Every structure is written in structure tokens, then in C-alpha cells.
């Protein structure tokens, strides 16, 4: 039971004691008591939020983000719902097929396991966006795979991107259901 050093009054708990010090002895307090009273008053003035409204606001925010995501990424309003399309991607470096996915990907584009089959969960995903999502950085001018950068501008290096046997530009080509994508990198150091 705290007792007041200034007037001798007793209190049932520390909160009541600190409130008493601030109300009755604010001009007489020493440095330490003044700091304790200030901390107590700051704690009392903080907003106590009930968990129910906080959880409700969180749910509303998550739902709003989800709706925005679907609106922005779902074929610019041409489709009623999200897209789900599949295809295959084969990546060849100097004649050797390599694993395409260095990571699983994102909610928009991903592979399942070590399959060649890709999945797109929203519309208008370019080959460049898709590959970047799985950790293979590609553009018309370069490919970064497994820490190695291959540049079209490098002597004796050729980058080829094809969809269904036709040459494409990875930043412009939008993936379509059933696409067979082939990314080929040939260097003078290859076989």
C-alpha cells in the first residue's frame, strides 16, 4: 500500500498514489516523482481501443485492398472475375534446359513445384512481369538468371523469346492460356 511522502496519506494502489501526487503536490514534487506523475498522466491520456472495432477496421481494409487488386488486375474491366490461365515455359541456356522458377512466384504468376507449367491468376501479365515474379529478370536486352547476366549486346550472345513458335518481345507479350513459351540464351562459351 503506497504512502505519500508529502502528506502521509495511504493509497490502495500505485495509480491512485500517482494521481494524488499530480493533483495535490504538483508544485512540491522532486525530479523523479515529477517524471513518474508525467508518465502516469500520459498513460491515462492514451486512447484505449477495444479490439472489436480495431479488428473490424482491419477486415474492411483487407477487403478494400482485395477489391482494388481484382479491379486493377482483372483485364481492365473486360472480365467479370479473376483470370486463371496456364501454359508452359522452357528456358534453354547454351543448349541445356534449366529450371525456370528460382522462386515459387507471386499471387499473380507462379509455378507449382518444379513443373514447367505456369499459372496466371490475373489478366494482362507480360512475359517480363511473369519471369521477374519468379526471380528470373528478363527484358528485350538482357536476362539475369542464377546470378549471371546475359546481354544481347555482349559479343556472341543471343537472346530469343518465343510464344508458340513465334518470336516475341517479353515486355510487350501478354501471356495467354495454353502458351508454350521458350526462352533461349546462346553464348560463345556454350556448347
Report mean pLDDT in 10-residue bins for the chain, 191 residues: 83 86 86 84 66 79 77 46 78 87 68 73 85 88 91 91 95 92 85 48
pLDDT given for residue 119 in this prediction = 77
The total number of structural domains that make up the chain: 3
pLDDT given for residue 48 in this prediction = 59
Say what the pTM is.
0.55
Domain presence at residue 191: no
Domain presence at residue 135: yes
Same-domain status, 89 and 181: yes
Same-domain status, 135 and 176: yes
Same-domain status, 71 and 90: no
Same-domain status, 71 and 115: no
Same-domain status, 122 and 142: yes
pLDDT given for residue 120 in this prediction = 82
The DSSP 8-state label assigned to residue 154 in this structure reads S
* C-alpha distances out from residue 11 to 8, 18, 21, 45, 170, Å: 10, 9, 11, 21, 75
pLDDT given for residue 182 in this prediction = 94
pLDDT given for residue 79 in this prediction = 39
Domain presence at residue 58: yes
Same-domain status, 42 and 55: no
- What is the Cα gyration radius of the chain? 32
Domain presence at residue 65: yes
pLDDT given for residue 76 in this prediction = 43
pLDDT given for residue 170 in this prediction = 93
Q: In this structure, what CATH number is given to the domain that contains residue 161? A: 2.170.130.30
pLDDT given for residue 141 in this prediction = 94
| Domain interval for residue 1 | 1-46
Amino acid at each position: 500500500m503506497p504512502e505519500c511522502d508529502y502528506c502521509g496519506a495511504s493509497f490502495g494502489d500505485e495509480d491512485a498514489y500517482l494521481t494524488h501526487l499530480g493533483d495535490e503536490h504538483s508544485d512540491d514534487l522532486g525530479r523523479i516523482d515529477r517524471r513518474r506523475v508525467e508518465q502516469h498522466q500520459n498513460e491515462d491520456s492514451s486512447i484505449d481501443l477495444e479490439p472489436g472495432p480495431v479488428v473490424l477496421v482491419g477486415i474492411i481494409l483487407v477487403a478494400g485492398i482485395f477489391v482494388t487488386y481484382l479491379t486493377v488486375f482483372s483485364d481492365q474491366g473486360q472480365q467479370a472475375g479473376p483470370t486463371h490461365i496456364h501454359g508452359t515455359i522452357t528456358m534453354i541456356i547454351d543448349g541445356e534446359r534449366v529450371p525456370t522458377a528460382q522462386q515459387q512466384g507471386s499471387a499473380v504468376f507462379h509455378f507449382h513445384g518444379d513443373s514447367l507449367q505456369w499459372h496466371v491468376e490475373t489478366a494482362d501479365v507480360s512475359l517480363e512481369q511473369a519471369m521477374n515474379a519468379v526471380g528470373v529478370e528478363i527484358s528485350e536486352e538482357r536476362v539475369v538468371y542464377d546470378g549471371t547476366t546475359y546481354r544481347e549486346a555482349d559479343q556472341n550472345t543471343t537472346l530469343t523469346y518465343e510464344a508458340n513458335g513465334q518470336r516475341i518481345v517479353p515486355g510487350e507479350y501478354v501471356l495467354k492460356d495454353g502458351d508454350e513459351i521458350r526462352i533461349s540464351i546462346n553464348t560463345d562459351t556454350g556448347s
